[in-house]
């Protein structure tokens, strides 16, 4: 690895650690044409944007992952749920989760291949992909109240089913 890339990684690691110390978790947003790595040659992808936490594993809880929403919505949902976790609530697979400020409902679902998605979380906890931190995907309903696992869900391309996506 060249010195410039290593320096960038060192700064990123310090930023992540500082945010976790300050707030309890860090939100990694991935998608669109965003890439902050030096000399990035990332190309636009047809994959949906996604965001996930780094830090909830340190609170003895799986990290959280959400697909298909913009950065502000992702931050709002994740920060609300992160606060609930910090306050002692455990989000469980299959549990129906509601919000006061967001019109959707969520069902957390276990992600069987987290090592192929949450690279920053595994980097922070120094875990190889094959022993990744656990992750729950926050699957949300459409405007008709249907979830991605149900027939007739409005936009299945926005939320890949757990285990079908690799970053």
Domain-by-domain residue ranges, the chain? 12-33+44-158
Contact 118, 52 (CB under 8 A): yes
Residue 36 pLDDT > 50: no
Distance, CA of 27 to chain centre: 7
Rounded Cα–Cα distance for residues 8 and 14 (Å): 10
* Secondary structure letter of residue 101 according to DSSP: S
- How many Cα neighbours within 13 Å face the side chain of 165? 24
Residue 79 pLDDT > 80: yes
What are the contacts of 126-133 at 24+ separation with CB within 8 A? Answer: 133/57, 133/62, 133/63
* Secondary structure letter of residue 70 according to DSSP: -
pLDDT score, position 32: 60
**Beta bridge pairs of residue 63:** 135
Q: 30-34, 65-69, 84-88, 162-166: which range is least confident on average?
A: 30-34
Rounded Cα–Cα distance for residues 33 and 35 (Å): 6
**What average pLDDT does the segment 26-46 reach?**
64
pLDDT digits (tens, 9 = 90+) for 84-133: 999 999 999 999 999 998 999 999 999 999 999 999 999 999 999 999 99
Residue 81 pLDDT > 50: yes
């Amino acid at each position: 690895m060249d010195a410039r890339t290593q320096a960038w990684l060192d700064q990123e690691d310090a930023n992540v650690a500082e945010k976790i110390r300050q707030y309890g978790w860090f939100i990694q947003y991935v998608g669109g044409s965003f890439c902050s790595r030096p000399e990035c040659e990332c190309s636009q992808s047809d994959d949906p944007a996604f965001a996930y936490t780094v830090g909830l594993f340190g609170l003895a809880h799986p990290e959280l992952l959400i697909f298909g929403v913009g950065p502000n919505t992702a931050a709002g949902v994740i920060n609300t749920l992160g606060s609930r976790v910090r306050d002692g609530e455990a989000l469980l697979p299959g549990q129906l989760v509601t919000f006061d400020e967001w019109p959707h409902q969520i069902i957390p679902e276990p992600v069987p291949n987290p090592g192929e998605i949450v690279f920053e979380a595994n980097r922070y906890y120094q875990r190889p992909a094959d022993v990744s931190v656990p992750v729950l995907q926050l699957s949300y309903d459409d405007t008709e109240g249907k979830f991605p696992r149900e027939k007739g869900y409005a936009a299945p391309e926005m939320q890949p089913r757990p285990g079908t996506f690799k970053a």
